[in-house]
Amino acid sequence: MVTSAHEGMHRIFQDRPEILSPVFGVLGIAFPEKAAVYAIGTDVTETRPIARHVDTVLRISPSDGDDFLLAVEAQERRDTKKESSWPYYIAYLQARYDLPVLLLVVCRDRATTKWATGPFACGARGWIAQRTHPLVVGPDNLPVITNARTAAEKPAMATFSALAHANSPHIDAILDALGHALAGMDWGAASYFFQFLESALGDSPAGAKWRDIVTFVNYFPGRGTVMERAYLEGEAQGEARGEANAILRFLEARGISVPEEARDRIASCTDLDLLNHWLDRTPHVESVDDLFAEDPEATVDHGGA
C-alpha cells in the first residue's frame, strides 16, 4: 500500500534536488557541484506486460560530465519482488534513454536497509548473468540533525532526515530543531517544509509530535499564524500569491493531480480568507475536487421547476 510517508521519501528528491549532494556524500560518492536535475517519466511498462512504475526518476546533467539517470525507490519493508523488479527498472531505463542508471533506495528501518543493500544476482549453475547493487540510505547513514542552526542552513536535508528517522528515538529532537529553524524563516521559504512533513508523517507518532510543534509556533491560519503575520507585514497581493503557490506545492507533494483549470483558479485567487480555507484543507483532501467542495463561492444549479 502506498502511504504518505512512502510518497514523501522519494518525492522530496523531485521537489528539493539540493539534498542529492549530501545524500550522495553519506554514500561516499561524489555528486557534481553544478548539475541540472529534472524529473522524467516513471512509467516502465512495456506494451503488453503488467504495469510497472519507478517511484521517482531524475535525469542528472552535470556541467562537467555526461548525463545519467537516478531511479529513487522508497522502501518501508522487505519485498522480495523488488529483487527482480529493480534490475528490470535499471535495464529498461538504460535501454530507453541510452544513459547509465543508478538506483537509490530510501529506507526508514535498519532491517529493510540491510536487505535492500543486496547485491541481487540473477544466474544459474554457478554463472551470474546480472548483479544489482543499489545505493541505500537509511537510519544508519543519514545524519541526525538536532541542531536548529544546522536545520536552518539545510532545511531540505533536515526535513529528509526527519522523515528517514521518523521511527527512531531521536525523532523528537529532530522535529524540535526543525520546528525552531522553520519558525525563524521567511514564510515563503518555510511553508513547503512545514506542510510536506504534515502530509508525509501522517497519523504516525512523529506526525502527532509535528502537529504539536506546528500548533506551538502558531503556524496554521486562524491562530495568529506566520502566514497571517506575513500578510499584516507585507502586501496582500504578494501574500495571496504565496499562499496559492503553497497550496499547489503541497498538493503536488501529496501526489494529487491538479488540472489546468483548477491550477488557474487557485493561482488567480486573491481572497485571503478563501485561500486560507483551501490551505487548511490541503493535508486532508483526496482530490482537487475535495479542496473546492466547501468553497463558499461555489453554487450548484439544480434546475428550475
pLDDT at 103: 92
**Same-domain check for residues 130 and 172:** no
One-letter amino acid for residue 241 of the chain: R
| 302 inside domain | no
Instruction: With beta carbons less than 8 A apart as the criterion, state whether 15 and 192 touch.
Output: yes
Burial label, 145 (beta-carbon count in 10 A; 0-12, 13-18, 19+): buried
| 251 inside domain | yes
**Same-domain check for residues 171 and 287:** yes
**Same-domain check for residues 70 and 160:** no
**Same-domain check for residues 164 and 129:** no
Instruction: With beta carbons less than 8 A apart as the criterion, state whether 40 and 34 touch.
Output: no
**Same-domain check for residues 279 and 161:** yes
The arithmetic mean of pLDDT across residues 82-102, rounded, is 90
Range of the domain at 242: 148-292
Tens-place pLDDT, residues 190-203: 778 887 888 888 88
Q: Which residues contact 62 (CB under 8 A, 6 or more apart)?
A: 32, 34, 35
Q: Examine the fold and report which residue of 88, 117, 137 is the final residue of a domain before the chain moves on.
A: 137
**Same-domain check for residues 25 and 100:** yes
**Same-domain check for residues 77 and 112:** yes
pLDDT band at 133 (very low <50, low <70, confident <90, very high): very high
**Same-domain check for residues 112 and 206:** no
0.95 exceeded by pTM? no
The arithmetic mean of pLDDT across residues 171-193, rounded, is 82
Distances 17 to 20, 36, 214, 269 between C-alpha atoms, Å: 6, 9, 25, 29
Q: Examine the fold and report which residue of 106, 137, 168 is the final residue of a domain before the chain moves on.
A: 137
**Same-domain check for residues 194 and 285:** yes
**Same-domain check for residues 47 and 126:** yes
- Name residue 38's beta-bridge partners: 59
**Same-domain check for residues 43 and 113:** yes
CA distance 118 to 121: 8
| 143 inside domain | no
| 221 inside domain | yes
**Same-domain check for residues 103 and 30:** yes
pLDDT at 108: 85
Burial label, 252 (beta-carbon count in 10 A; 0-12, 13-18, 19+): middle
Sign of CA dihedral 104, 108, 110, 116: negative
